[in-house]
């Protein structure tokens, strides 16, 4: 019984020590240099290139990962000892002077209801049905009579920039559907009702003009297994490199700086108001914040190809998403396949990300520990497609205890909130038998009539009143104008031109070939070997009509062999589909550019 308390004491001492190190860190020792903008710029590089500077800034990352948005608002820095604030002021002023805007945005939704096709009504068509469908084209104009089911019903919520919300519920409760609806991934829904407000913009306009600012990160990690971690993140950075950059650095310098510093686990401690001005500098710190230094040149891998671990692959997915510089992130079952320690590291990294960039994050976790839970600002509890709570995370337990449910002393808060939705796991307080809600409908009715729901409505009204759609539209249009590459269409969802996308994808295509060079060597060797074998069989064919049959046979064999061998590429095309769909939803590139680059890069081999 003594050991847990001891460990907790050690953790507390470690955090206190880190906080002391934060206040002692003085990267600028020369007062004369502090007033010189050029020397300050050199100081940034000097700090990040020294071991002591890296260790100090890594300490800041650990401190930042333990702070919620409420803590950030009240956290004060010792200005006498913490001269890093001067660096942030310099970066802020430089960004303001150069007119670099931020695209941060919160989101609110009212009466969100999603419909989908019942799984019992969904089936794969047979070959005969597929053939008949081409002849029965008029059926496309008929009404869909498949059985539909309401997946989520009457959801409400609001999330300010810099906040994180944890979506809790058993599988099938509607967590994934909520995240997909918020991110605009509604193709699989038959009908979506309700209203969204992205700082005053409705969802239709947001998805049409600013899709890249709302990102849905799926449950599974889809990456090309044969390229390295650096090359994976490098493509995201290249496709999202803004046209206007601090100090007019080149595109290659921007990408190199993002990667060089991002793999070193560093960050700066700052307030939310400063953060929005210094994205171009802070993004350099990503891969470092997520502890990917040692995986810099390691293949990403997958379930069949050896590469980084599952936790590291999850962090690669996060860095890839954060490199997009979006406003709203949705992480679906983000800790799937991770152990408790790695899951906590993931949440701390995401907490750092929201504090640094001011973006908002929806995170669905089915098995969350207490340490993970405490890092979130808000929590949403779902029960069979119904919302039964949305509010501050530190008030979630008291809400259900006030309702009449008992929280065992050894049960964590997320376990209790999930257990409330399970009839076999929840416990009722003495004296509340028969008085507490039991079905999902009763829970939803209790929630709608509660004071917490009224407070949420007030918060949503304030959010809508404080955010004007015209101002947001003007701001995002200006951000697009700054970020889009010259020659790109203003209405395009992509940051770089089509030809730049093709060039970057061709580089990745050659990297994929290089990463799987064994397959390429075996593939070419098989052609050469079979060429010699077949050639030896038909050696010295008579040039008369006596050799016509043999000559026709070898031509037929060569054509047949090449045709059959090329069928092996079909399986590879299907295996990359999920990766391409994900990156298309990220608005990274046109799928036609990927198809064209594959023809070009595969031509020498095939």
Domain extents in the chain: 498-602
CB 223 within 8 Å of CB 312: no
pLDDT attached to residue 154: 92
Element spanning 591, H or E:
helix 591-602
Q: Which two tokens stand for residue 423?
A: 């009839």
| Nearest CA-CA partner of 161 in 355, 1, 363 | 355
pLDDT at res. 415: 94
In the prediction, which pLDDT does 354 show?
80
Residues of the chain with pLDDT under 70: 1-103, 118-127, 129-146, 242-289, 356, 606
Record the tokens describing residue 536, joined without a space: 């030896």
pLDDT score, position 42: 46
Residue 5: its pLDDT value, please?
A: 44
The predicted pLDDT at position 242 comes to 66
Read off φ and ψ for residue 331, nearest 5 degrees: -110, 115
The pLDDT value given to residue 496: 86
Those residues with Cβ within 8 angstroms of residue 445's Cβ, 6 or more apart along the chain or in another chain: 437
For the record, the structure tokens of 97 come out as: 């002077």
Of 255, 280, 303, whose CA–CA distance to 103 is shortest? 280
Other C-beta atoms closer than 10 Å to the C-beta of 192 total 19
What is the reported pLDDT for 533? Answer: 85
Which residue pairs from 89-96 have beta carbons closer than 8 angstroms and sit at least 24 positions apart in sequence? 89/274, 90/37, 90/40, 90/41, 91/246, 91/277, 91/278, 91/281, 92/274, 92/277, 92/278, 94/37, 94/246, 94/247, 95/246, 95/277, 95/278, 95/280, 96/277
Q: Tell me the pTM.
A: 0.74
pLDDT (0 to 100) of residue 129: 66
pLDDT at 456: 95
506's CB contacts (< 8 A; 6+ apart) are 597, 600, 601
pLDDT value at residue 78 = 42
Tokens coding 201: 């913009």
Q: Calculate the CA 147 to chain-centre distance.
A: 33
Say if residues 495 and 240 touch (Cβ distance below 8 Å). yes
Are residues 350 and 318 in contact, defined by beta-carbon separation less than 8 angstroms?
A: yes
């Amino acid at each position: 019984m003594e050991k847990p308390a001891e460990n907790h004491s050690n953790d507390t001492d470690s955090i206190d020590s880190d906080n002391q190190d934060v206040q002692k860190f003085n990267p600028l020792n020369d007062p004369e240099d502090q007033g010189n903008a050029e020397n300050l710029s050199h100081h940034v590089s000097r700090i990040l290139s020294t071991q002591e500077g890296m260790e100090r800034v890594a300490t800041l990352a650990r401190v930042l990962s333990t702070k919620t948005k409420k803590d950030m608002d009240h956290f004060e820095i010792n200005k006498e000892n913490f001269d890093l604030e001067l660096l942030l002021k310099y970066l802020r002023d430089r960004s303001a002077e150069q007119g670099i805007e931020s695209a941060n945005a919160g989101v609110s939704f009212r009466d969100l209801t999603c419909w989908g096709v019942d799984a019992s009504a969904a089936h794969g068509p047979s070959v005969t049905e597929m053939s008949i469908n081409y002849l029965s084209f008029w059926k496309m104009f008929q009404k869909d009579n498949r059985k539909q089911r309401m997946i989520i019903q009457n959801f409400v919520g609001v999330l300010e920039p810099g906040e994180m919300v944890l979506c809790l519920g058993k599988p099938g409760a509607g967590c994934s559907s909520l995240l997909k609806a918020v991110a605009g991934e509604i193709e699989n829904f038959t009908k979506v009702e309700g209203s969204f407000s992205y700082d005053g913009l409705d969802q239709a306009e947001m998805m049409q003009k600013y899709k890249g600012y709302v990102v849905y990160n799926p449950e599974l990690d889809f990456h090309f297994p044969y390229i390295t971690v650096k090359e994976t993140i490098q493509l995201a950075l290249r496709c999202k490199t803004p046209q206007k950059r601090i100090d007019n650095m080149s595109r290659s310098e921007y990408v190199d700086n993002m990667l060089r510093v991002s793999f070193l686990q560093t960050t700066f401690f700052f307030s939310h108001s400063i953060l929005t001005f210094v994205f171009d500098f802070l993004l350099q710190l990503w891969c470092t914040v997520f502890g990917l230094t040692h995986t810099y040149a390691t293949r990403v891998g997958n379930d069949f190809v050896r590469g980084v671990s599952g936790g590291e692959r999850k962090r690669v997915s996060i860095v890839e998403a954060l490199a997009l510089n979006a406003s709203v992130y949705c992480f679906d079952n983000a800790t799937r396949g991770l152990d408790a320690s790695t899951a906590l590291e993931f949440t701390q990294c995401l907490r750092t990300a929201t504090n640094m960039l001011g973006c908002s994050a929806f995170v669905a976790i089915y098995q969350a520990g207490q340490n993970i839970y405490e890092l979130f600002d808000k929590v949403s509890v779902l029960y069979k497609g119904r919302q039964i709570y949305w509010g501050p995370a530190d008030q979630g337990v008291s809400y259900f205890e006030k309702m009449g449910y008992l929280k065992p002393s050894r049960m964590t808060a997320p376990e209790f909130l999930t257990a409330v939705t399970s009839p076999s796991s929840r416990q009722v307080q003495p004296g509340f038998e028969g008085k507490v809600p039991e079905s999902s409908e009763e829970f939803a009715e209790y929630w709608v009539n509660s004071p917490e729901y009224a407070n949420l409505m007030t918060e949503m009204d304030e959010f809508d009143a404080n955010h004007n759609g015209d101002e947001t539209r003007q701001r995002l249009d200006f951000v697009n104008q700054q970020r889009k590459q010259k020659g790109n269409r203003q209405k395009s969802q992509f940051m770089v031109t089509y030809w730049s996308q093709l060039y970057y994808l061709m580089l990745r295509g050659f990297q994929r070939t290089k990463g799987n060079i064994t397959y390429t060597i075996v593939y070419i060797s098989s052609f050469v070997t079979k060429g010699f074998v077949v050639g030896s069989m038909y050696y010295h064919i008579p040039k008369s009509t006596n050799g016509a049959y043999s000559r026709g046979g070898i031509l037929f064999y060569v054509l047949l062999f090449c045709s059959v061998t090329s069928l092996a590429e079909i399986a590879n095309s299907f295996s990359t589909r999920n990766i391409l769909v994900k990156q298309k939803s990220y608005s990274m590139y046109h799928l036609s550019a990927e198809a064209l680059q594959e023809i070009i890069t595969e031509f020498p081999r095939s």
